[in-house]
Structure 1
């Protein structure tokens, strides 16, 4: 914890009261939440960033895209536009944000929209023809003007929300009790060799409610890296030095993975959703081989030489219970029809 965060500790109770009161007004139906005729699945977290929302949204897209007419709706963080925007494969990051463009680029057959006002965004999506039969809300756990039909709460293994405190000293956006709204809680970024005893310990710390289901997942890194025109195996990098460029909240799992398989690299870290300056792009482009994340790739690829820039894909992998997780999502879909 840095000094400034320690200094701001007295503000934490104020933040707690404001967020607690806001939630209580929604819980008592004094402030109104809107429901919808189509199922709405919200993926989010209690903390600020780094929980693995994008890989989870992509997991759900893969699960649902052949079963429903699917749309995703994100805020479009750090975009330069306002209001509702439909994302196309030709959209610019500055107009729609990096993660929505990543979704559209990878899954061009689904509808992707951005809007900071989720109500307005859903209204615009529902005016499309054909209209979506399911909407995935990315990072909308605290957006209580919308009442989703199903909530998936993510918390990383090495930074559980039960071990954290509220902003501005900690990283929680709302009190821990907010976890009670979740239908499913997923502990993300677990070690691949996590034991049953460790899972029990985490479950006891989280105090999962009887009506909630707890799952554990890890990050599955592919054996290949990609760019727009080619792919190559990670084994081919064993004797090659490269620069790893990240602009994500928590690059540690990727760094640990590359280190564990014996790759030789230098890590250049930028803040999450970083807008790269001309000088930064010039400095990065001086390197012969550059590897980055998928999210950063959509930011960097328009500005760097395509033959030297590659990205590392990642996917969610459940430690166990994948079939149960899938079944619960699909069952919710049936109930909402």
Structure 2
């Protein structure tokens, strides 16, 4: 443990204690946790920062659509400048919706309603009223939102930064203690190497199961990166030398992928997660681009780069985003597919 984290442990214990009391009140019914007529699927994590929630939510939504369900996505809308419930529309931007909900809207359009609301109870209730044919709601980043009781709770943790080696804020990056994993119905270890050996998977699963309920599946997923997608008019064929622009928590896997497939990153403009790009930021990127170079970014960052106030400066750059799809190792996809299918099967009456 780093020395600074060691000195911060007393504050971490205090924070963990506050969260433990809060969870105990919900677990024992002293604070109300609402259930709903439609199944509610929560995708979240214990750790602050990127564990891959957005692409995993997209995987779940695509699978629900493939099974004939009519899902909606509900998020808090982190980083937006609006308040209250809001249903995504074509006029929305990252400023009005948040970058991740906007990405979901761009991915699924009118096929899947996407909404934001700080209060998930209000959000689910309003969605159900507005969308009578709705059959399920997928909550993006709601693991600690105890006012809603999910039908299926999916907990994500990164292979390189698993929750079982971390500490509660501020000594570590956990939002609550490791015991919070007991609420999970399935745990997905994300951002794994595609060829992660079975022996390593078994070892990681054993560590995870120290904190989960007995029998909870532990699955493993990896990223599959797609071909660059242009987002500006002058983005044609990318060359080998590129500038990378990111505003995500952990850009390292993307860097590794680009270098592995033969790109040379001459400059990486790395900003904090959910960074609100400014004209000055883009001007700095322009200054790093040599003649003929293009800029690579993520789809989540692209949602913020396309803000109207940046249109003029962004248009000067050839920008591509690198799409990401989730793939499961071993039989993980079949396991999660079955868990989703079971949500819509009639329950036996005892």
Shift of 1:6: 4.8
Contact 1:225/1:232 (<8 A) preserved? no
Partner of 2:196: 194
Partner of 2:319: 309
Partner of 2:36: 36
- 3-state secondary structure, aligned to 2:73: strand
Partner of 1:334: 345
Partner of 1:276: 277
Partner of 1:106: 107
Partner of 1:134: 136
Shift of 1:335: 4.5
Moved more, 69-78 or 200-209: 200-209
Partner of 1:178: 180
Partner of 1:118: 120
Partner of 2:220: 216
Q: Please show how residues 1-337 of structure 1 align to structure 2 within 5 Å.
A: 5-66=5-66, 67-108=68-109, 109-207=111-209, 208-222=212-226, 224-228=227-231, 237=238, 240-265=240-265, 266-286=267-287, 287=289, 288-302=293-307, 303=310, 304-305=314-315, 308-321=318-331, 322-335=333-346
Change (3 A) 1:230 1:134: farther
Contact 1:219/1:314 (<8 A) preserved? yes
- 3-state secondary structure, aligned to 1:292: strand
Contact 1:301/1:309 (<8 A) preserved? no
Shift of 1:169: 1.2
Query: What's the CA shift string for 1:191-224, capped at 9, x where partnerless?
Result: 11110110111011112432311111111111x1
Unpaired runs of at least 5, structure 2: none
Contact 2:235/2:318 (<8 A) preserved? no
Shift of 1:188: 0.4
- 3-state secondary structure, aligned to 1:220: strand
Moved more, 172-181 or 326-335: 326-335
Change (3 A) 1:40 1:335: farther
Q: Distance in 1 between matches of 2:38 and 2:89?
A: 23
Shift of 1:305: 1.5
- The number of aligned residues is 333
Shift of 1:278: 2.0
Contact 1:38/1:134 (<8 A) preserved? yes
Query: What's the CA shift string for 1:241-281, capped at 9, x where partnerless?
Result: 11111101111111111122221112110000000122112
Shift of 1:129: 3.8
Query: What's the CA shift string for 1:219-249, capped at 9, x where partnerless?
Result: 1111x1102488999xx65x53111111011
TM-score relative to the length of structure 2: 0.90
Shift of 1:336: 7.4
Change (3 A) 1:5 1:65: same
Change (3 A) 1:79 1:4: farther
Contact 2:225/2:323 (<8 A) preserved? yes
Q: Distance in 2 between matches of 1:247 and 1:307?
A: 17
Q: Distance in 2 between matches of 1:336 and 1:95?
A: 40
Contact 2:116/2:123 (<8 A) preserved? yes
Contact 1:228/1:306 (<8 A) preserved? no
- 3-state secondary structure, aligned to 2:228: strand
Shift of 1:160: 0.6
Contact 1:88/1:101 (<8 A) preserved? no
TM-score relative to the length of structure 1: 0.93
